[in-house]
Amino acid sequence: MFKLILSSAIAVLLLTINALAQSSYVQFTYDARGNRTGRQIVFSTERLSQEQSSASDVFKDQIGLATVQIYPNPVHNSFKVSIQDSSITTGILGTIKVMDSRGNAIGENTIKDGYGEFDMANQPTGTYLIQINYHDKNIVWKALKQ
């Protein structure tokens, strides 16, 4: 009887930890000059859309009124970028530039209406820099290609 209660409690605990891990993201804070001053892991009960693979593959960066998401990371074949910025009333337009770890340009793609995608299927495994530019804002991310 004790083993049954213990295994049930462990199962509930693992399900809770799994649910928290799937709904967490990293949030950054910035000073008035745009320097990153803080980073925290945020746990949320918000569910992601079916288009996104899972919350553990989604990375969010909060910059002022903008929320930038890159998913999945690590990248298998391609990654997507989603930008939501309440300070911009028209469609969000921008570019995605990808560079290898040595700074060599891999390619570029556009962001239209806040969404963009970049195909990395032909790239070797490694670390890449993703530079996102939109409406005079510049964000650089690190992504892993598996």
- Single-letter residue type at 99: M
Q: Considering only CA atoms, which of 138, 136, 134 is closest in space to residue 115?
A: 134
| Whole-angstrom distance, CA of residue 53 vs CA of residue 107 | 24
Is the pLDDT at 110 greater than 80? The verdict is yes
Q: What is the pLDDT of residue 104?
A: 92
pTM of the model: 0.59
Is the pLDDT at 120 greater than 90? The verdict is yes
Tokens representing 3 are 């083993």
| Whole-angstrom distance, CA of residue 56 vs CA of residue 25 | 8
Q: pLDDT tens for residues 59-70?
A: 676 767 788 888
